[in-house]
Amino acid sequence: MSKRDYYEVLCITKEATDREVKKAYKRLAMKFHPDRTQGDKGKEEQFKEVKEAYEILSDDQKRAAYDQYGHAAFEQGGHGGGGFGGGADFGDIFGDVFGDIFGGGRGRGGQSRARRGSDLRYNMELTLEEAVKGKSVEIKVPTYVSCEKCDGSGAKKGTSAKTCTTCHGHGQVQMRQGLFAVQQTCPTCHGQGKVISDPCNACHGEGRVQKNKKLSVKIPPGVDTGDRIRLANEGEAGEHGAPAGDLYVQINVKDHPIFVRDENNLYCEVPICFTVAALGGEIEVPTLEGKVKLKIPKETQTGKMFRLRGKGVKSVRSSITGDLMCKVVIETPVNLSKEQTELLKQLDKTMGKKRAHHSPKETGFFDGVKKFFDDLKS
């Protein structure tokens, strides 16, 4: 099967600079890498093709031979064949490109990176009062902690892990077939670079054990649903002494029977009797700090919003305290006595033909309804 032109494989021209060659390779290698394509054989072949093209075009001598003789320059017995069989260590570039993305790669000195412990999440429910004022909470988190018996090394006390003889401490082995160089995790040490011949009895060589860890979490005043508190290094312990992950405390504030929070403001509905709404008066309304007086002007309509400045919440992200917004809802009286019923009837009678003057919204609404039906008839 004939091979595609290497410049075509990398989607570049023959005049491309070394920097453009490397940039094109990184983009395509990222796209077709097996860790991303998850078993797609077609993409895997494209990855190999991109890798082969880059190895040739990134080397000045190989590129010159390819420009002159094409693929024949690297076929056995071809022009200049055998002169370019060694090639640069492709694994170095491979590690640079994919090390941080796929968790593999090699650290300084060729050693494999220790696997950091996993981050954990703890869901915490708070009342509105607790969220606004803040508090300290003790929690229990089931997690992995560093093994005390072996100090997290995984090796039995008095012994230590030895350098892997298969990968010589690199954590990876390289397999070559012609121009192809493939880096794989060492099958002996599984990427650790070291082998524990006498593992700890408590953690069985892992360097960590399962345990319910007690932690005291300080909740700052003003947190709200969706906020996260990060506790550095309080997540799972890493394997074989690697750094621990972080613990994230996810805040959820429970619904309140009176108040609804919207950022720094609080909202509540306050029922008032129709006589106070009509004549005006003074009522008590709740706040998170206790009751306060609120003046109701005469002729107040249901749905009217009153603002009590500074009676809301101070957010964890701001020094400004919000307001309390009180929406009044006029309550129709129930369980009326005979005398009360008679008084209301007399009130209604006194309004008589002046109803539009006393109830402008009601009159306006029914006038609008009448006009609507008259328009339908015409």
pLDDT band for position 94 (cuts 50, 70, 90): very low
* Whether residue 131 is found in the same domain as residue 238: yes
- Whether residue 12 has pLDDT greater than 60: yes
* Whether residue 243 is found in the same domain as residue 139: yes
Q: Tens digits of per-residue pLDDT, 338-378?
A: 998 899 888 888 877 665 666 666 556 656 666 666 666 66
| Residue type, position 89, single letter | D
Which helix or strand (DSSP H or E) is residue 308 part of? Answer: strand 305-308
| 270 domain-assigned | yes
Pick from 224, 212, 232: which is nearest to 116 by CA? Answer: 232
* Whether residue 149 is found in the same domain as residue 213: yes
Pick from 341, 311, 344, 347: which is nearest to 326 by CA? Answer: 311
Three-class HEC string of 101-168 = HHCCCECHHHCECCCCCCCEEEEEEECHHHHHHCEEEEEEEEEEEECCCCCCCCECCCCCCEECCCCC
Q: DSSP letter for 240, please.
A: G
**200 within 8 A of 221, measured Cβ to Cβ:** no
* Three-class DSSP category at 252: strand
Mean pLDDT over residues 310-333, rounded?
Answer: 89
**Domain hosting residue 284, numbered range:** 260-334
| 162 domain-assigned | no
- Dmax (CA) of the chain: 119
d(CA 228, CA 247): 10
Q: Tens digits of per-residue pLDDT, 40-52?
A: 888 888 888 989 9
Give the chain's mean pLDDT: 80
Among the candidates 224, 253, 282, a domain finishes at 253
* Whether residue 208 is found in the same domain as residue 136: yes
Q: Tens digits of per-residue pLDDT, 288-304?
A: 989 999 999 998 888 99
- Which of the pair, 325 or 102, is modelled with greater confidence? 325
* Whether residue 238 is found in the same domain as residue 136: yes
Q: Which two tokens stand for residue 358?
A: 């006393």
Q: pTM of the entire structure? A: 0.56
d(CA 51, CA 181): 9
Cα-based angle 192, 145, 157 (whole degrees, multiple of 5): 65
* Whether residue 241 is found in the same domain as residue 304: no
Q: Count how many domains the chain has.
A: 4
Predicted local confidence at residue 311, as pLDDT: 92
Where residue 124 sits, what CATH number does that domain have?
2.60.260.20
* Whether residue 319 is found in the same domain as residue 217: no
